[in-house]
Amino acid sequence: MAEETLFQQINNIAHRANPYPLYTELRKTPVLREPDGSYIVSKYRFITDLLHDPRLSSDIRTRDPEDRKARAAAASEFPVSFIRTDPPEHDRLRRMITRQFGPPHTPNLVDNMKNELAQIVNDLLDGLHTQQRTRIDIVDDFAYPFPVTVICRLLGVPSEDEVRFHAWANKIASSLDPQPQDSEENQELTTQQAVSEIGHYMKDLIVLHKQQPGEDMLSRLISDTSPDGQLSIMELISTAVTLLIAGHETTVNLQTNGMLTLLRNPEVLLRLRNEPELIVPLVEETLRFEPPVQFNSQRTAGRDIHIGGETIPKGAPVYLMLAAGNRDPERFDDPERFIPDRTDNQHLGFGNGIHYCFGAPLARLEVQTALNTLARRLINPRLVTDPPPYRPNAVLRGPRHLLIDIDGIKQ
């Protein structure tokens, strides 16, 4: 059997708990060609250059038609998400969607959610306090239900349907990996089935919201007439699916990675308890140090691209290793150390360029609220297992469970 390349090792679940030494090795050849013809880019400067380069396509359908993912995208009964398109299509759709997500059309959406987010977080911890729990799973008991509740309320998705889209979201998220390694509960569901089922679910929900509109974002997306026109039914479906999945998958990992990092650095946890305002730079440092999205797996060279002494040929898949760039010593001082009040922190945790995460303001507020509340209310939290078990996903990396023992929960 041929020896695994560095990129293959990063995708191997055996290295999920700590891929960072592999990223250090990868940066020694910052633009690396894989045996399959794909290119791996791991230096901060080159990653940011490519994230702003219009020659790098986000549309998976631009790949060789023999490419597995390109065929699947082309054959799907539903269109690809707007985040998987290029200008001008991307720019039109993004303008229409962000009208309902922030300024100038809805300038106070995120700020107005502060009290609601705090209430959801405290209700979750109150429930655990009532049960007199001394061991909790940060993932199942807290980090997953919190953003799911938020995105369901925001979109107008019935909370009782969460159990249905959980499996769909997991399957679609796992398909982002170059070498998908499904969990056991996901093996009976194919990616195509997951896309079809969640797409039809959203289609039915959109019809319902057309008949009975509310104050939720989905109703506003359906009825809004912008200078770019209205979203078609197919665009509404793909957008709603994207918002639902992106609205919780990455946020779960960011909360969990943040809590794990705090528990590994008890002096920082203590400092956060005493200085709650530290949470703002601390979350930014978490996005750099333990980003929930480790690398971008869906880019393709639209034309030949000369970078780092290499030529990436037209049609080649390109993997932008965001987590490797986040620890590039040419860009960050002491990059392997978690510095909660780091001041120069232009990390790649939310990407960069025209595809910068449009949900970043809400994700930041959710994680700031979650970690501050956990730090304040959990009494003497300590890890049960380190490292914890990780999800199979290499792209969306985070613990599958994070068990901690506590002496109680403050009221």
Residue 1 within any structural domain of the chain: no
CATH number at residue 189: 1.10.630.10
pLDDT at residue 4 greater than cutoff 90: yes
Residue 152 within any structural domain of the chain: yes
Sheet containing strand 317-320, strands side by side: 31-33, 39-41, 317-320, 296-301, 56-57
Helix (H) or strand (E) holding 378: strand 378-379
What is the average pLDDT across 261-285? 98
- For 188, the domain range is 6-409
Residue 97 within any structural domain of the chain: yes
Beta bridge partners of 203: none
- The pTM (predicted TM-score) of the whole model is 0.93
Residue 208 within any structural domain of the chain: yes
> Which among 22, 17, 29, 24 is positioned nearest to 4, based on CA atoms?
22
Largest CA distance in the chain: 61
- Give the Cα separation of 275 and 298 in Å (integer): 40
Band (pLDDT 50/70/90 cuts) for residue 218 is very high
Residue the block writes with tokens 């009976």: 188
Q: Kindly report the backbone phi and psi dihedral angles of residue 299, in degrees, each rounded to the nearest multiple of 5, phi listed first.
A: -100, 150
User: In the numeric block, which tokens belong to residue 307?
Assistant: 């970078």
Taking only the tens place, the pLDDT of each residue in 323-340 is: 999 999 999 999 999 999
Band (pLDDT 50/70/90 cuts) for residue 247 is confident
Taking only the tens place, the pLDDT of each residue in 86-133 is: 999 999 999 999 888 877 788 888 889 999 999 999 999 999 999 999
Helix (H) or strand (E) holding 317: strand 317-320
> Which among 257, 293, 268 is positioned nearest to 143, based on CA atoms?
257
Residue 331 within any structural domain of the chain: yes
Taking only the tens place, the pLDDT of each residue in 159-179 is: 888 878 788 888 888 888 888
Q: What is the number of alpha carbons within 13 Å of residue 73 lying toward its C-beta?
A: 22
Residue 390 within any structural domain of the chain: yes
Residue 127 within any structural domain of the chain: yes
CB atoms within 10 A of CB 313: 13
Q: What is the distance, to the nearest Å, from the Cα of residue 339 to the centroid of all Cα atoms in its chain? A: 22
- Give the Cα separation of 383 and 386 in Å (integer): 7
Q: Kindly report the backbone phi and psi dihedral angles of residue 56, in degrees, each rounded to the nearest multiple of 5, phi listed first.
A: -95, 115
Q: Domain total for the chain?
A: 1
Q: What is the number of alpha carbons within 13 Å of residue 199 lying toward its C-beta?
A: 17
Residue 106 within any structural domain of the chain: yes
Taking only the tens place, the pLDDT of each residue in 286-317 is: 999 999 999 998 899 999 999 999 999 999 99
